[in-house]
Amino acid sequence: MSKLRKDYEKSPLWKFLTFVKGDTPLPEEDHTEEWIRNVERAEETEKTENANYIELKETDPYEDAKRFAQMSGVRVFRKIYYVLAALMCIMIIAMLIMNVAFMPRFGSDETPTNNEVAERYLADGVEETGAVNLVTGMILKYRAFDTFGETNVLFIAACSVMILLLHRESTKLSVAEGRGKKLVKKKKREDEEDVDAEQDEDVILQTIARIVVPLIFLFGLYILLNGHLSPGGGFSGGAVMGAGLILYNSAFGFRKTQRFFDETVYDVIKVGSLCLYALIIAYYLFTGANGIDPMIPLGTPGKILSSGLILPINLLVGLEVACTMYAFYALFRRGSF
Amino acid sequence: MDFIRNFPFFSIWMPMVAGPVSSVLSGKKARLLNWTVVVASGLMSVATLVYVLSTGESFTYTMGAFPAPFGNEIRVGILEAVTASFFCLIMVLSLVGGHRFTKVDIPEEKQNLFYIMINLLLSSLLALIYTNDMFTGYVFIEINTISACGLIMIRGWGRNLLAAIKYMIMSLLGSGLVLISLSILYGITGHLLMEQMHESIVEIVQKGTYTEPLTVAVGLFCVGIAIKSALFPFHAWLPDAYGYSTCASSAILSSLVSKGYIFLLIKFFYRVIGAEIIHTIQVDDVLFVFGIAGMIFGSVSAIQQTDVSRMIAFSSVAQIGYIYMGFGLNTEAGIIASIFHILAHAAGKSLLFVSLNGLTQGTWENANYRLLRGSAYRNRIAGIGFAVGSLSMVGIPLLAGFTSKVYFAQAAFGAGSKVKMLVTLIALAISTILNAMYFIGQVINIYTPIENAEKKRYAAGASMWFAALAFIVANLVLGMGSQPIFRWIERGLSMFS
C-alpha cells in the first residue's frame, strides 16, 4: 500500500480522479456577506439583551448601587483622588520649603559643611592628588569608588536601552536565530530602505556640520585632557564629544557614520575603556587600602602630564560617556548603530 | 593587614568588571562567567564571615589611600558577611533554577544583556550591604534600580514593559527622595560617612539646633526606601513587576532587590541616626502602622487574585509588612526578628517562584489557578517545592517562616508599650490565617487530580531539581537550626553601634 498522505487532496492524481468521477469541488465561495450578516445579528441580540439587562437593573436596588459605583462612582472617586493628590503635593512642597528656613545659612562661616574635610581638600588637595582642579581631584582620588559606580550607571543605562530597542543588523540576526536565507534577504532590504529613507540632503546642516564638528571634537578632547587643570573632566568632555558625534550623524546619516563608528567600534571602546578603568581603580584602591606605595609619580601640578592616574581615568571615562551618548541617540532613532 | 580583608572589595569589584566583559560575549559564555562570578563572590563572603567570626570584631576597609572622613570606606561585620553570603547563595540558586526558562523567555541575542544586569545587580547589592558611606549607598541604589528595571522588561511582553515603566517611575521617585534626604543630612552634618554623621547628629540633637531638617531628612529617607521596597501604600508597582517577569528575574527581584534597600535602611537607623533618636522623632511608630497595614492588606489582595504568580507577588507585600513591623517595635529583638525574616522570606519566596514556573510548564506559562489544577502531578519536584514554600510562608513548624514568626511574637512581648504588643500579636494571628487561606488553598489546588487528564509528565531537568532541593534544605536549615544564625545576627547588630 502506498503511504497515506495528509495532503492527498492537493495531489494531481486525486484531482484527476475527481475530475473523471465528475464531482469536482465547488469554487471557494465568498463568505464575507454571510459573516457580516452574522456579526450584525450578534450585535442586535446583544443590544436587546443589554436592554433587558438595563430594565432589570432599574428594578433592583442592588443593581442600582452597582451601576452608580460603575458610572458616577468612578467619576466621584477620580475627583476626590485628584484633589487629594494635589493637596498632598502642596503639603510636601510647603514642608520642604519650610525646611529650607531651618537649614544652616548657605555660605556662612558656621555651616557644618565648613569642617575639617573641606579644609583638608582645600589645603592639601593639590599636593595629595596632583590635580589643580580640586573637583576632579576630589571625585577621582578621594571619592574614586563613587565615580567608578557612576560610570557603571551610564553603562548599565545604555544596556537597558539596548534591551528595550536593540534590533541587530540582518547578518548578525541570521547567525543568531538561524533564519532562512529568504528572510535575511528581506530583512537586509528593509534595513537598506531604512537607511535610504533618511534625508541626508540638507545642505545648510551639512555645511555647518563640516565646519563645527571638528571644532566640537577638538574642544571635547581639550576638556578631557585638561580635566585636572581647568574645569571639566571625563563626564563633561565625553558629553561634548558625544554631541559632536550626534551632530555628524544627523547631518550625514547612518551610512557615513558607520564608516568609522559601528557596533564593533562601540563594543571595543566601551569594553576597553570600562575594563581599563576597573583595573586602574582596583590597583589604586588595593594599594591605598593595603598601605602599598602606588609608585605612580604625581608630577608637577599644573603641567599637562601630571596628577598620576587622573589623566588616563578622565580619558577613559570621556570615551565611555561619548559612546554612551551616541548609543542612546542611535538606539532611539534606529534601533541599531 | 590580613589579605582576607580585601575580599569584600573584590566581591564588589568582580561583578562590575564581568558586566562590561559580558557585553561582547555570547549568551552562553556570559552565563558561565556570571555563574562563576556569583559563586566566587559567595565563597569570598563566606571566607569573610569565617574571618570576622574568628576575630570577633568588625573592620573597616579604606577605598583608596585616604582614611575615613576624607575618602570612601566599606565596613565588614558579622551581619554584613552573613547577609552577603546568603544573598549570593539565593542568587545562584535562583539563576540555576530559572535557567531553563531564561533560555526560552529571552531572545538569544539579548541573553548576554540579561547577565550584565545580574552582574551589576550583584555588585550593587553587595555594595549596599558593605558600604559605610551614605553617598556610595545612593550610587549603588541607582545601579540597583536600573538593573532591576532591565530584569523586569527583558522578557519583552507588553505587560513587562508596562510593569517596567511603573517600576521606573515609582522607583525613581524613591531615589529622588533618598537623594534629597542625603543632601539635607549632608547640609546639617557636613559628613557623608556613617560614623562621622552619627557623631554630628548626636551633637545636633543635644544642642537642638537643626532638629527640624533632621526629622524631614529621616522622613524622606524612610519614604524613599519604603517606595523602593514596596511597603504597603506604595506597592502598586510590585505585582506586575514580580508576576510577569521571567522565572530567575522574579525570584531574584522578590527575594533580593527590595532586601538590599531594607538593609541600607537598617544601617541608616542604627549606624547613622541611632535607635533612641529614631524613637524620639517617632518614625518607628509610623513604620509600625504601615507595616501592620501591609501585613493585612497585602494578604487580602493576594486572596483576590486568580493568577497565582500575582498572588505570590502580593504575598511579598505582606512579608515586607512583617519586616517593617519589626523595625516599628524598635527593640533589639524586633530588629533581629526582621533581619531573620529577610533571610527566611528570601529563601521561601524564591523557592515559590522557581517551582511555580515549573508548574506552569504544561499551561503555556499561564499561571491561572484553574489551569494549575493537578499540575503537581505533571512536575513532581515543582509541586513539592511549591508546597514546602507555601507552608514556610504560612508558618508551619520546622520551616523558616515559622521560626521568624516566633521571633516576631517574642519581640512583641518585649515591646515598650502594651498597645504595640497586643496589635503585633493580633496582626500576626490574622495575617497567618489569611496566608493560610490562599497558600494552603493553592497547595490543595495543585494536588487535586483532574479526571481524563493528559497523562503527560514534564521533565523538570537536573537544574530545577538541584535548585528546588537546595532551597528546601535552606528553608529547613533556617527553620530548625536557627539558633547559630540568630546569635550571629545578634552579635553583628551589637557590632553596629
**Domain coverage including residue A61:** 35-97
Closest C-alpha among B297, B254, B255, B279 to residue B427: B297
Closest C-alpha among A133, A118, A124 to residue A236: A133
Q: How far is A30 from chain B (nearest CA, A)?
A: 35
Under DSSP, is residue B60 helix (H, G, I), strand (E, B) or coil? strand
Looking from the CA of A92 toward its CB, the CA atoms found within 13 Å total: 11
Domain end marker among A68, A97, A126: A97
Calpha distance A95→A89 (Å, rounded) = 10
Q: How much of chain B exceeds pLDDT 70, in percent?
A: 99
pLDDT of amino acid A293: 82
Closest C-alpha among B235, B294, B249, B338 to residue B435: B294
Q: How far is B69 from chain A (nearest CA, A)?
A: 6
Do A92 and A120 sit in the same domain of this protein?
A: no
Nearest CA in chain A to B208: A102
Residue by residue, pLDDT tens for chain A (337 residues) are 445 556 666 677 877 777 777 665 555 556 677 777 777 777 777 776 666 555 554 556 677 777 776 777 788 888 899 999 999 999 999 999 999 998 888 888 888 888 888 888 888 888 888 888 888 888 888 889 999 999 999 999 999 999 988 876 544 544 445 545 556 666 666 666 666 566 667 889 999 999 999 999 999 999 999 888 888 888 999 999 999 999 999 888 888 888 888 888 999 999 999 999 999 999 999 998 888 887 888 878 878 787 788 899 999 999 999 999 999 999 998 888 7
Under DSSP, is residue B368 helix (H, G, I), strand (E, B) or coil? strand
Query: Could you tell me the three cell numbers for A117?
Result: 574635610
In a domain, A103, yes or no: no
Do A128 and A245 sit in the same domain of this protein?
A: yes
Q: What residues contact A157, with CB distance under 8 A and at least 6 apart?
A: A324, B146
Nearest CA in chain B to A162: B113
Do A275 and A314 sit in the same domain of this protein?
A: yes
Q: How far is B53 from chain A (nearest CA, A)?
A: 22
pLDDT of amino acid A129: 83
Calpha distance A301→A264 (Å, rounded) = 38
pLDDT of amino acid B341: 94
Do A159 and A74 sit in the same domain of this protein?
A: no
Query: Could you tell me the three cell numbers for B3?
Result: 589579605
| Contact: A102, B210; criterion CB under 8 Å | yes
Calpha distance B257→B230 (Å, rounded) = 11
Q: Which residues of chain A lie closer than 8 angstroms to B189, CB-CB?
A: 112
| Contact: B186, A113; criterion CB under 8 Å | yes
Closest C-alpha among B63, B56, B61 to residue B76: B61
pLDDT of amino acid A189: 63
Is A271 an interface residue toward B (CB < 8 Å)?
Answer: yes
Is A281 an interface residue toward B (CB < 8 Å)?
Answer: yes
pLDDT of amino acid B293: 94
pLDDT of amino acid A1: 44
Looking from the CA of B358 toward its CB, the CA atoms found within 13 Å total: 37
Given a contact cutoff of 8 angstroms between Cβ atoms, the answer to whether A163 and B153 are in contact is yes
pLDDT of amino acid B257: 92
Nearest CA in chain B to A106: B187
In SS3 terms, B16-41 reads as HHHHHHHCCCCHHHHHHHHHHHHHHH
Calpha distance B439→B430 (Å, rounded) = 14
| Contact: B187, A112; criterion CB under 8 Å | yes
pLDDT digits (tens, 9 = 90+) for A189-243: 666 666 656 666 788 999 999 999 999 999 999 999 988 888 888 899 999 999 9
In a domain, A17, yes or no: no
Instruction: Report the predicted TM-score, pTM, of the whole model to 2 decimal places.
Output: 0.87
Do A51 and A125 sit in the same domain of this protein?
A: no
Calpha distance B101→B90 (Å, rounded) = 17
Choice between B408 and A74, residue whose per-residue pLDDT is larger: B408
As for how many domains chain A has, the answer is 2
- Strands B59-63 and B72-76, sheet pairing: antiparallel
Calpha distance A235→A320 (Å, rounded) = 9
Do A77 and A204 sit in the same domain of this protein?
A: no
Do A138 and A79 sit in the same domain of this protein?
A: no
Residue B259 has pLDDT above 90, yes or no: yes
Do A53 and A150 sit in the same domain of this protein?
A: no
Residue B201 has pLDDT above 60, yes or no: yes
Do A71 and A137 sit in the same domain of this protein?
A: no
Calpha distance B381→B387 (Å, rounded) = 10
| Contact: B1, A291; criterion CB under 8 Å | yes
Q: Which range has the worst mean pLDDT, A23-27, A40-44, B148-152, B440-444?
A: A23-27
Scan for cell 549596599, then name that residue: B128
Average pLDDT over residues B296-323: 92
Q: Which residues of chain A lie closer than 8 angstroms to B236, CB-CB?
A: none
Give contacts of A 162-191 with B, CB under 8 A.
Answer: 162-164, 166, 168, 172-173, 176-177
pLDDT category, B373, cuts 50, 70, 90? confident
**Residue B102, strand partner residues:** none
pLDDT digits (tens, 9 = 90+) for B231-252: 988 998 999 898 888 889 999 9
In a domain, A2, yes or no: no
Do A147 and A39 sit in the same domain of this protein?
A: no
Do A199 and A244 sit in the same domain of this protein?
A: yes
In a domain, A316, yes or no: yes
Given a contact cutoff of 8 angstroms between Cβ atoms, the answer to whether B459 and B380 are in contact is no
pLDDT digits (tens, 9 = 90+) for B45-80: 999 999 999 998 889 999 888 887 888 899 999 999
pLDDT of amino acid A175: 46
Query: Could you tell me the three cell numbers for A108?
Result: 556662612
Query: Could you tell me the three cell numbers for A25?
Result: 469541488
pLDDT of amino acid A171: 47
Closest C-alpha among A255, A218, A256 to residue A237: A218
Choice between B276 and B451, residue whose per-residue pLDDT is larger: B276
Q: What residues contact B355, with CB distance under 8 A and at least 6 apart?
A: B381, B382, B383, B384, B385, B386, B389, B468
In a domain, A23, yes or no: no
pLDDT of amino acid A174: 46
Do A93 and A122 sit in the same domain of this protein?
A: no
pLDDT of amino acid A4: 56
Q: How much of chain B exceeds pLDDT 90, in percent?
A: 66
Q: How far is B153 from chain A (nearest CA, A)?
A: 7
Calpha distance B189→B181 (Å, rounded) = 12
pLDDT of amino acid B64: 83
Nearest CA in chain A to B180: A96
Angle formed by the axes of helices B158-189 and B211-228, nearest 10°: 160
